[in-house]
Structure 1
Amino acid sequence: MVKPMLFALAVLPALALPGLAQEKPELTVYTYDSFAAEWGPGPALRTGFEAQCGCTLSFVTADDAISTLRRVQLEGTTTTADVIVGLDTAVAHEARESGLFVDHGVPAEALVLPEPWTDPLFLPFDYGYFAYVYNTTRTPNPPKSFEELIALPDDFKVVIQDPRASTPGLGHVIWIATAYGERAPEIWAGLAPHILTMTRGWSEAYGLFLDGEADMVLSYTTSPAYHAVSEGDDSYAYAEFAEGHLPQIELAGTLASSDQQDLARQFLAYLVSTEGQAVIPETNWMYPVVPLAALDPAFTAQPQPAKVLSVEEAEIAANSRAWIDTALEALR
């Protein structure tokens, strides 16, 4: 009777044998498509975190960080998200006003950023600067300011992104408003003849640029590092503008409705750990927020902008709608 008894125990469901099997806790992270893509940081971060948390990490994606925020806003307290990854400083005020987030609980004082970070609600995990990227073989003498760009013949074309749907598109609008203030409508009017098109997202815009449809594309100061590291092509650079450049700081936050608050904090701590940050530069193609000894020299081949612009969150909250309308009116 021993063997039949052992067989019976073996086929009993796990629920009938407490302690022999336990369901792993699951952490659900809302993010944008490229973050969770096979070439993005998501897979490696999931592998590294799951190895130490005894949990399952799941990504739920949307086209863009703005779309991700919209989804959480629509779902409200019924959202299945525990963490959102990929907000940025341009939409932080809107996320904050939603009341859906709680303090992240991770020390951030030692993080390396364009400006000191004191916000307890959102945790920075990478950053870059908005910039126009060009190919040095096709454009050996790029403009060195918005005004130089405007002064070029109308057949010099750039591709930008829609500020209503794209975080770089929104950052572009804030960049011009911050650099030029009341002169922003004049700058937009001057840019209009040079804008080949305004795409919904970054990927479409960058693809048009790579296809030779435009001379420059709105992107990041880190984009040339991608070409140098992944393609062995060092012919790409960003045009440093005399007006200065606006940083984009990407953020993560914990949902107040999550029933995995401790696990969420552990994940955010892992995201800004040396191990987690080592994944970021060559998958998300942004600067890390902790010093990395193994950072590829391509990220420092062209220095970060000499002049860094800054704008208060309250100013973005008060004016972003009007700044967007100014840009769209000039492009009609």
Structure 2
Amino acid sequence: MRRLWLLALTMGFLPALGAELVVYTYDSFVSWGPARQIEQAFEAAHPGVDLVWVAPGDSSEMLARLLAERQTGGTPADVFLGIADTELARALDRGVFQPYDPALVPNLQHIPPELMFDPTGHVIPFDHGYVTFVYDAERLPEELVPRTLEDLTRPELAGKIILEDPRTSSPGLSFLIWTVVHFGEEGWEGFWRRLLPGVLTITKGWSEAYDMFLAEEAPLVLSYSTDTAYSWIEYGSLRYQVITPDGEAYHQIEGMGIVAGSDQVELAHAFLNLVIQREIQELFPTSQWMFPVNALAQLPEDFARYAVVPERPVSLAPQLIGERLEEWLNRWQRLLVGG
């Protein structure tokens, strides 16, 4: 045993006994997603290292927390997992991430170029999906199912829609940007003026919104295009149906990066590489209910059958979002208070 220990010392393989890798993420990644399996795999590969998840809120809330901690003296976070492409520019402007070393993340070779949404080399994608609306087919009559975004403003749907706040929720922000793209600079505020009076509630995050939907508080919720697959695989039912209004849904790519100032850079790279490993990526469709980014990952048959890919995915360049986001949020907030 002593010979093995000395060999580890001389070759630089000494395990980081008692080390921690702190990963900030969002609540549903831990409660719904593959966090437990990732933790088990990572700790098995790195004996003596404790992987610690910190996830009390939605992704936008967690990013705000990270920004605040860095501004007031420092953060324990080594990795942030869950930054949406819609918030990339904001994070880069604040210097949240340090560049990753591609040589230490060999599984990057399996990610298609079109999903690599950060050309600066700070953030790596780990999953992607489509933000859209989902309805409860047992509680919403077929004639009331909205087929266009404008249909959401129909008086018959008043009190039947749950949204998420774009200031604190990444799907909420994706929807706001979707409306800007769809209606244009001259039209999106008018759409929201017509929409807001009929909305039942706007929650801080997706988890709260979806829990309300499952509790039958409203038959329409802003969620993801994989929810029919979820309904079938989890319950053997097609009760929860995906809508792609006007054939659209917002294409959301989620990324992860090493927090600037982390003293666990090697472990952080190992974590990034593990998350995009094929075996881990194949957990995402039926735990995270998102599409994997690793092209080698196989989709479960029922997921592939029922997960919806919209005819016309909507997206906007992160740089453009960064330039206009604060203005859009301010204008949306004025609408919320009746302005």
- What is the TM-score with the length of structure 2 in the denominator? 0.84
Residues 109 and 118, structure 1, Cα contact 8 Å, conserved in 2: no
User: Which residue number corresponds to residue 64 of structure 1?
Assistant: 58
Residues 256 and 286 of structure 1: CA distance in aligned 2, closer, same or farther (over 3 Å)? same
User: Which residue number corresponds to residue 177 of structure 2?
Assistant: 174
CA distance in 2, matches of 1:31, 1:116: 20
Residues 98 and 259, structure 2, Cα contact 8 Å, conserved in 1: yes
Q: Return the offset for 1:109.
A: 5.2
Aligned length: 314
Q: Return the offset for 1:277.
A: 0.8
Higher-Rg member (1/2): 1
User: Which residue number corresponds to residue 41 of structure 2?
Assistant: 48
CA distance in 2, matches of 1:21, 1:302: 42
Residues 21 and 261 of structure 1: CA distance in aligned 2, closer, same or farther (over 3 Å)? closer
CA distance in 2, matches of 1:328, 1:296: 42
1:71-220 equivalences under 5 Å are: 71-76=65-70, 78-105=74-101, 106=105, 108=108, 110-112=110-112, 115=115, 117=117, 119=119, 120-139=121-140, 140-141=142-143, 142-151=145-154, 153-155=156-158, 157-181=160-184, 182-220=186-224
State the SS of the aligned residue for 1:242. helix
Residues 154 and 193, structure 1, Cα contact 8 Å, conserved in 2: no
User: Which residue number corresponds to residue 13 of structure 1?
Assistant: none
Counterpart residue identity of residue 313, structure 2: V
2:299 is equivalent to residue 303 of structure 1: no
Q: Per-residue displacement from partner, 1:198-231 (whole Å, max 9, x unpaired)?
A: 1122222222222333231011111222222122
Q: Per-residue displacement from partner, 1:280-300 (whole Å, max 9, x unpaired)?
A: 222211111124335242343
Residues 222 and 299, structure 1, Cα contact 8 Å, conserved in 2: no
Q: Per-residue displacement from partner, 1:288-314 (whole Å, max 9, x unpaired)?
A: 112433524234324300101121112
CA distance in 2, matches of 1:64, 1:91: 13
Which of 227, 235, 241 is matched with 1:223 structurally? 227
Unaligned runs of 5+ in 1: 1-17
CA distance in 2, matches of 1:215, 1:327: 24
- Larger mean Cα displacement after TM superposition, 264-273 or 287-296: 287-296
Identity, % of aligned positions = 33
Q: Return the offset for 1:35.
A: 1.7
Residues 314 and 118 of structure 1: CA distance in aligned 2, closer, same or farther (over 3 Å)? closer
Residues 156 and 215, structure 1, Cα contact 8 Å, conserved in 2: no
- What is the TM-score with the length of structure 1 in the denominator? 0.86
2:279 is equivalent to residue 272 of structure 1: no
Q: Per-residue displacement from partner, 1:30-57 (whole Å, max 9, x unpaired)?
A: 11222223x4311110101122223321
Counterpart residue identity of residue 70, structure 1: A
State the SS of the aligned residue for 2:258. strand
CA distance in 2, matches of 1:21, 1:156: 56
Q: Return the offset for 1:22.
A: 7.1
Unaligned runs of 5+ in 2: 1-8
Counterpart residue identity of residue 310, structure 2: P
Residues 125 and 252, structure 1, Cα contact 8 Å, conserved in 2: yes
Residues 152 and 300 of structure 1: CA distance in aligned 2, closer, same or farther (over 3 Å)? farther
Q: Return the offset for 1:153.
A: 2.5
